[in-house]
Structure 1
Amino acid sequence: MRVLRRSGDPDLAVRVAGETDRGVPVVLVHGMASDHSTWRRLAAALRARGRAVISVDLRGHGRSGRARDVYRLDDFRDDLAYVLDALGVAVADVVGHSLGAHTALRFAMLEPSRIRRLVLEEVPPMPRDEADLSEGIAMRATLGEQIRGLIALARNPFPVIRFDGRMGDQIVAEFDVCAPHWWSELPDVQAASLVISGGEKSFLPPHHLRTLSEALPDSRFVTIDAGHSVHRDRAAEFVAQVDGFLGH
């Protein structure tokens, strides 16, 4: 792992495989309470295709530093921008899961010219109105997902051990506020996008992800009935979808 040292903001750990100045690299951004290691299978497939891969540990996760006070969604977005700047990457393809997907989407809204292709796995949308809030679709795992998560935890406990538990309530609180302006900015995204839903097994209702996909200018929508962690629980199908979408 390479650690990008900063003064005033948390240090950020990244794993870089391949030459990022040759072609368009792929940036992988994990979900909450995970880290870069969740992408090992996808990263190996991308490297076999000759793609450079940058796997990020978000602040408060893995080997990255922790926030001094609170965690905000825009801070994760700005961290992603910092990683690309520090590595000299002008344009990238980005794959994100859950919080990582939301982070990537915020970055694509802020700097649309810097993302060529965007894969959004189980991306939690901001609530549009009180009706969305009443559905309670913030990042809260179902029982089935908790069980699958415990199995994954037994296999690799380090991401959870290193996770800053203060983050959970702070981030969920941001998803408990109506944000119609967030939806109004989705048309600013220039990247070709692939939105992947985990289907009815996920706590995120698929129709919300489909609506999000339809709001993006150039997007396709795919369902893989796996629950919230598609890349973990249906890895072969996930890799095939991403590999076909990203190309070379």
Structure 2
Amino acid sequence: MNGIKLLYREEGDLAAPPLLLIHGRTADHNDWNGITQHFAARYHVLVPDLRGHGGSDRPGAYPLPDLAGDMAGLLDHAGISRATVIGHSLGGMVAYLLAMRDPERVERLVLEDVPPPLPLENRPPVVEDGSTGFDWRMVHETERQFLDPDPAWRAGLARITAPTLVLSGGAASPFDAGALAAAIPGAELVTIEAGHLIHVTERAAFLRAVDAFLPE
């Protein structure tokens, strides 16, 4: 995909409606364990490792639009023209960039505690430790894009045509989900007081909110 190799997992009936789950920064496809099984009961679920994470390639370049292009390439590889997309944090930014780049490819969009494309302030500096499950260059490059996103991304949110659910982690969240929801036409905002890792900290509430948003 996009000239690089991505590791991904598939679950569910290949003939079922497709659903793409995109993990957050420094995680990998295993971050969705338990969530994948829930959705695989009625969806063909694809769960990739983003470039620079897990078993996927580490090309050394991490522009977020390229990560969105990787996801389009994965859908092409799987023969999928249109999918529901759920993204957490960095994965949510990739998801909304995909939805604004290729609106016809996104059936529905769920953004779980995702940074809006607005300059972020008061972020602690990135401090490397001994973690090896991801490329530290990816962390530094994506952090720069968190802090100073391309202004075109905010304008691009208005081009999203997919019905969109924005999930906020509430008072303990580091991001302004309200600003993100306000910039996407018709987006629904739901707050779950769980902090940043809603699908981990409040899994049942996360699944209830997403199930209520997705068609039966």
Same fold (TM over 0.5): yes
Equivalent residue number for residue 29 of structure 1: 22
Equivalent residue number for residue 246 of structure 1: 214
Cα pair 1:30 1:36 within 8 Å, conserved = yes
The CA deviation at 1:126 is 1.7
Find out whether 1:46 has 2:30 as its counterpart.
no
Equivalent residue number for residue 231 of structure 1: 199
The CA deviation at 1:137 is 5.6
Find out whether 1:17 has 2:3 as its counterpart.
no
Cα pair 1:138 1:176 within 8 Å, conserved = no
1:164–1:30 Cα change, 3 Å:
same
What residue identity is the alignment partner of 1:54? L
1: CA distance, partners of 2:137 / 2:149? 22
1:138–1:215 Cα change, 3 Å:
farther
TM-superposition CA deviations, 1:177-199 (whole Å, max 9, x none): 25332211111101000000111
Question: Bigger CA drift: 105-114 or 237-246?
Answer: 237-246
| Equivalence map 1:128-167=2 (5 Å) | 132-133=119-120, 135-136=121-122, 161-167=132-138
What residue identity is the alignment partner of 1:170? E
2: CA distance, partners of 1:162 / 1:202? 24
Higher CA-based Rg: 1
TM-superposition CA deviations, 1:148-204 (whole Å, max 9, x none): xxxxxxxxxxxx532112211111112222533221111110100000011111222
1:210–1:139 Cα change, 3 Å:
farther
Corresponding residue to 1:90 among 81, 88, 99: 81
What residue identity is the alignment partner of 2:70? D
Cα pair 1:138 1:172 within 8 Å, conserved = no
The CA deviation at 1:139 is 9.6
Cα pair 2:7 2:48 within 8 Å, conserved = yes
1: CA distance, partners of 2:125 / 2:164? 22
Cα pair 1:124 1:138 within 8 Å, conserved = no
The CA deviation at 1:122 is 0.8
Equivalent residue number for residue 124 of structure 1: 115
Identity over aligned pairs, percent: 38
Q: 1:28 is paired with a residue of what secondary structure? A: strand
1:121–1:137 Cα change, 3 Å:
farther
The CA deviation at 1:46 is 1.0
TM-superposition CA deviations, 1:91-126 (whole Å, max 9, x none): 100110000000000000000011111000011112
Count of residues in correspondence between the two structures: 212
Cα pair 2:52 2:58 within 8 Å, conserved = yes
Equivalent residue number for residue 63 of structure 2: 72
What residue identity is the alignment partner of 1:111? D
Corresponding residue to 1:100 among 67, 91, 102: 91
What RMSD over aligned residues (CA atoms) do the two structures have, in Å?
1.9
The CA deviation at 1:14 is 1.0
Cα pair 1:94 1:118 within 8 Å, conserved = yes
2: CA distance, partners of 1:138 / 1:10? 31
Cα pair 1:138 1:175 within 8 Å, conserved = no
